[in-house]
Amino acid sequence: MSLLSQFHSIQSLRDALQAKKISATELAIDALQAAQAYPDNALFLHIDQDLTLQQAQAADQSLAANTAGPLTGIPIAHKDLFATQGWRTTASSRMLQDYISPFDATVVGQLRQAGTVSLGKLSCDEFAMGSGNENSAFGAVQNPWDPTRVPGGSSGGSAAAVAAGLVLGATGTDTGGSVRQPAAYCGVSGIKPTYGTVSRYGIIAYASSLDQAGPLARNAQDLVPLLDTMSGFDPQDSTSLETCNGAPNTQGRIQASYQAAQSRFQAAGAQPLKGLRIGVPKEFFNQGLAADVGAAIEAALQAFQALGAQRVDISLPLTRLAIPAYYVIAPAEASSNLSRYDGVRYGHRAAQYTDLADMTRRSRSEGFGEEVRRRILVGTYVLSHGYYDAYYLQAQRVRRMIADDFNRALTHDCDVIMGPVTPSVARRIGDNRQDPIADWLSDIYTLGVSLAGLPGMSIPCGFGGDTQQLPIGLQIVGHYFDEGRLLAIADRYQQATDWHQRTPENI
């Protein structure tokens, strides 16, 4: 049993570190050994023991000087979409196979300054394009609950590492559900904040108007210090927000909002969520939803009602259009963002070519995987002359209408929206290899939230599948800048249930 497996939350580990029951260096050495011995060789793409121990020793110095923060000495790992000094940054692609960034992404720097200890870089779908973590150029990641199943994507490596107990937190990015969906498949908690509240600087771009970083952890309470540290205005990111509902976008905003909501809930007594209106979209409970997932979501909603919340039936009529809108907008932005990989300045360059155009063509064909090439071609097509108005512009109009639907519901009908994260439990590795559109359809419940730029999260709420051993996630969506209250609501549910405490066998 590893040292880290003895601690079930960041707070419990923080208490042990401050009480000098364990040192950050001892913990880091043990965590490195566990990560290197983990049977899924595709999970970690780069581990550097010297870099990790340097951070652990710095954490011990802060602990000894009594200057430690809430995350000092906490083992984490980063999705391989975040630029990191020292560790390779590959986006799980052969295009960037040996690339080492000269700088840290803002999120990486913020977490490092907070005292976290990084174990290295975690696998993801190539350039964040995928829903199963099978599109990595370096192998498919396995779900810790069942090695024959996918962990979800694109942040599947991050979710799997947390579920396997190798780290207490991990960074992810969510473009169309890529934090929430793997969190659901792996039985952990994850949150996508409001677009613009967390810096995108140093995150390898997929779709710039949709990409947003978010953390994954065992429970909602652990997400609070992680997201609070990651948040804040960044002048290096042109999409970063300076204010959130008139208040400065600074570290401490999430923590203050969370604590304020917790205080209100505690004052409410036996029914802490009394007065909370939960909107349940009828479009989320259609024929495409598996019976086991639907039953788990219904049980979770009843648990919230027992805590005092009121269930309200609502409608999000444009839910069915989220998939076509997203899969026009995201590939279009991807075709623009990935055009920089031409074999000239950095990235993979073909060994043999005849001229500049041939070099670019061969370099991209060799460096990009099949799914990335597919989305680039789709994006290039919808942006081409004669199709821009018919596809891209129309998709942007639909995006605005989808956001209006959410805004209308959250302003007039309910305080939060709840429903499933995915239509089914995690599929088997390779199931959709011949039908990539099936993977796109699995994002039906998460895409609208991303298109609207709203905060959304996933928390464990049950199990399903043939063996009843595959996790199911509950999605909670709030209004803009409502992350702190979402986390407090999720925490109240987790105080009344134990789904988040369950771990895979042999973990």
Three-state secondary structure readout of 197-219: CECCCCECCCCCCCCEEEEEECC
What is the C-alpha to C-alpha distance for residues 425 and 414, in angstroms, rounded to an integer?
A: 28
Residue 241: inside a domain = yes
Residue 496 resides in a domain: no
Active site (annotated) includes residue 158: no
Is there a catalytic annotation at residue 424?
no
What pLDDT shows up at residue 178?
97
- Give the pLDDT confidence score for residue 435 in this predicted structure: 82
Taken in order 179, 184, 190, 196, is the CA torsion positive or negative?
Answer: positive
Q: Are 139 and 90 in contact (CB under 8 A)?
A: no
Query: Which of 79, 131, 136, 363 is an active site residue?
Result: 79
Q: Average pLDDT of the chain?
A: 96
Per-residue burial over 343-361, b if 16 or more Cβ lie within 10 Å, else e, is beeebbbbeeeeeeeebbe
On whether residue 195 sits in a domain, the answer given is: yes
Question: Does residue 253 form part of some domain?
Answer: yes
What is d(CA 435, CA 449) in angstroms, rounded to the nearest whole number? 25
Tell me which residue of 380, 302, 283 sits closest to 338, measured CA to CA: 380
Write out the residue range of the structural domain in which residue 167 sits. Answer: 4-268
In terms of Cα–Cα distance, which of 193, 316, 297 is closest to 249? Answer: 193
pLDDT at 434: 78
Q: 139-191 pLDDT, tens per residue? A: 999 999 999 999 999 999 999 999 999 999 999 999 999 999 999 999 999 99
Structural domain includes residue 107: yes
- The reply to whether 437 falls in a domain is no
12 catalytic? Reply is: no
Is position 30 within any domain? Answer: yes
Tally the residues of the chain: 507
User: How much is the pLDDT for 45?
Assistant: 98
The reported pLDDT for the residue numbered 461 is: 98
Q: Total structural domains in the chain? A: 1
pLDDT tens, residue by residue, 59-102: 999 999 999 999 999 999 999 999 999 999 999 999 999 999 99
User: CATH number for the domain including 163?
Assistant: 3.90.1300.10
Of the candidates 23, 131, 155, 178, the residue annotated as catalytic is 178
Active-site hit among 92, 93, 154, 335: 154
Separation CA 358–CA 222 (nearest Å): 50
Query: What is the reported pLDDT for 440?
Result: 85
pLDDT at 287: 85
- Can you give the pLDDT at residue 313? 98
* CA distances to 191, 217, 299, 394, 472 from 183, in Å: 9, 9, 19, 32, 9
Residue type, 488: A
Q: Is residue 118 part of a domain?
A: yes
Q: How far apart are CA 111 and CA 357, in angstroms?
A: 41
Per-residue pLDDT of the chain (507 residues; tens, 9 = 90+): 689 989 989 999 999 999 999 999 999 999 999 999 999 999 999 999 999 999 999 999 999 999 999 999 999 999 999 999 999 999 999 999 999 999 999 999 999 999 999 999 999 999 999 999 999 999 999 999 999 999 999 999 999 999 999 999 999 999 999 999 999 999 999 999 999 999 999 999 999 999 999 999 999 999 999 999 999 999 999 999 999 999 999 999 999 999 999 999 999 889 999 999 999 999 999 889 999 999 999 999 999 999 999 999 999 999 999 999 999 999 999 999 999 999 998 899 999 999 999 999 999 999 999 999 999 999 999 999 889 999 999 999 999 999 999 999 999 999 999 999 999 999 999 998 778 888 888 899 999 999 999 999 999 999 999 989 999 999 999 999 999 999 999 999 999 999 999 999 876
